[in-house]
Amino acid sequence: MICGTSAPAASRCALAIVLLLMTFSAKAAVFNETDTSRMTDIDAAIASLEKDVGRAIHGLPLDDAEQIEAYSYVELNLEAAHERLNGIFLLVAVSMYMESSSDQLQILSLMHGQILLQSKTYLNEKKNAIASMATSHPANEAFATYSTRASAILADRAIPLLDELYRRIGALRR
């Protein structure tokens, strides 16, 4: 965890860091507030889905181990995707307000070479893992809903954003 004991705490911590950094520097950067805003929106959507899955787990009968395991699997995959995106959010925010161009370039190089493409693969894996619960429990409409929502968040919003960030950094490096 980046900060706190839960994904929402980490999100609040990340937002606080961004606001703090914004007070120290307003210089132009590869990324901008639109990027952090988009990431914040994605963060909120994942948090909402996590809460819905968590509420569903608490409503399950205690003797239904198979359902508890399946819902927990979905929840853990969402949390993992959420944590990965929180890490990228922090890197984007920090790189926006670095005082030194060489420090900013180091972060961008790290993101381009080791984080963004791997994170795209990771998010696809998490999306597919959640979809596998819908496939293995076809009678449970909740899993189909979770899969659809996870796909809308991860495949339709988060992954395209990572692709865009990757392209922008790549264009800067040329």
DSSP, collapsed to helix, strand or coil, labels residue 142 as: helix
- Look up residue 170 and give its two tokens: 């790549």
Q: 147 to each of 41, 60, 78, how far by Cα in Å?
A: 19, 19, 11
Alpha-carbon span 147 to 121, nearest angstrom = 17
Torsion of CA 79, 82, 88, 91, to 10 degrees: -80
What pLDDT shows up at residue 150? Answer: 98
**Entry pTM:** 0.82
Q: Which structure tokens are listed for 96?
A: 């926006």
Q: How confident is the model over 89-145, as pLDDT tens digits? A: 999 999 988 888 888 999 999 999 999 999 999 999 999 999 999 999 999 999 999
Interval 151-170: pLDDT, tens: 999 999 999 999 999 999 99
Tokens of 128: 């597919």
